[in-house]
Amino acid sequence: MKLGNIQWRIAALKNGFQDATAYRLEFLFEVLGAAFVPAAIQWVLWYALFKVGGATQIAGMTYEDMVAYTLVSILFTQVRGGDHDFELAEMIRGGGLSNYLLRPVGVVEFVYIRGVAPKIFIAGFCLVLGIAAMLLSKIFPSVAAATPNLTPLNLIYGMALAFFGNIIHYQVGATLATASFYWEEAYSLMMVKNMIVQLLSGELIPLNLFPESMQWIWKSTPFYLYVFGPTQIALGRWSTEEIWMQFGIAGLWMIGGWVLIRASWGLGIRRYLSLGG
């Protein structure tokens, strides 16, 4: 890679970070809101099932297991893909793509780098927070008992898989965005994708709560690699072989995503009329 190529990527990263944090209070609200409200709702569900309903185990998980899942999954929910695929769709629809076609940068990669910048910062912050919380949790025997395999190394592996998930999420979105070359309402495809991701990524509930007959649903999409997979790794619920297999699966999804982007953008750009704006 030429030095110039690195320079524009670093510049895009810097620009994306500055853009996201221009309004610091908003940025903070967004991060905190996105972390704690879904976590509170999850915790409430476990409270209702176990403490009010009197259940002792659900899908092989105790109340403490569920709470541990909820707390650790918050870290990875923050890293999962954002909405910058909508930006691509809008560029195509509104004609803004023309500006990028004249520049010596790949528009799909440029939009990703700008969008991922605040996520890198959040990922680092979450990692530090996770490790600090993990060390503190050892003070409380019940929490420590529910998270015996939560180690800094597992958290780092989990965060790495979450980042793979972030890339896959964008690849899926960037492919769907090319529907804008053909259809005015293509943004709706991304809205649908985001709704499905919410359920199948594991950010609402651990995916092993799905009944046996429905497990194939989440296993046949890459979405579980965003939150559920990283949380399983961090909590030490996957063996080393399983972890490497999941990284392999993530790698395959990324290759597939790359091929899809190349194909869909190659086809779509031929129909681009540069109208609107």
Partner 1 sequence: MSSSKYARVFWVQLKNNFVREAVYRSNFLTMIVVDLIWIAVEFSLFTVIYSNTETLGGWSKPQTYFFLGIFFASDALFTTFFQRNFWNFSDLVNKGELDILLTKPIHPLFLALTRWFNLTAIFNFFLGLGILLRFSDAAGFQGGWKWLGLVGWLAVGLTTALLVRFAFSIWIFWTERSWAMARMYYQFFAFATKPDTIYPKMIRYLILTALPFAFIGSVPARALLQGLELSEYLRIAAVLSVFFVINWFLWNAGLKRYQSASS
- Cβ closest to partner 1, residue 64 vs residue 109: 64
- Cβ closest to partner 1, residue 32 vs residue 259: 32
Cα→Cα distances 277→37, 85, 92, 95, 177, Å? 37, 18, 10, 5, 17
Instruction: Give residue for tokens 């799909």.
Output: 108
Least gap, CB of 23 to partner 1 (angstroms): 6
CB under 8 A: which stretch of 43-51, 135-143, 157-165, 227-235 binds partner 1?
43-51
- Residues that bind partner 1 (rule: CB under 8 A) add up to a total of 37
Q: Which of 210, 247, 258, 272 binds partner 1 (CB under 8 A)?
A: 210
Q: How far apart are the first and last CA of the chain?
A: 34
Least gap, CB of 271 to partner 1 (angstroms): 17
Note whether 19 binds partner 1 by CB under 8 A: no
Quick check: 82 and 119 in contact, CB under 8 A?
A: yes
Note whether 92 binds partner 1 by CB under 8 A: no
Q: Which of 13, 21, 30, 236 binds partner 1 (CB under 8 A)?
A: 30
Q: Which amino acid is at 199?
A: L
Cα→Cα distances 256→150, 169, 198, 242, 260, Å? 32, 12, 22, 21, 6
**Alpha-carbon gap, residue 277 to 262, rounded angstroms:** 25
Apex 42 CA angle, 37 and 48, nearest 5: 125
- Cβ closest to partner 1, residue 26 vs residue 242: 26
Quick check: 164 and 247 in contact, CB under 8 A?
A: yes
Query: Among residue numbers 137 through 196, which ones bind partner 1 (CB under 8 A)?
Result: 183-185, 188, 191-192, 195-196
Interacting residues with partner 1 (CB under 8 A): 23, 25-26, 29-30, 33-34, 37-38, 40-41, 44-45, 47-49, 52-53, 55, 58-59, 183-185, 188, 191-192, 195-196, 198-199, 204-205, 209-211, 214
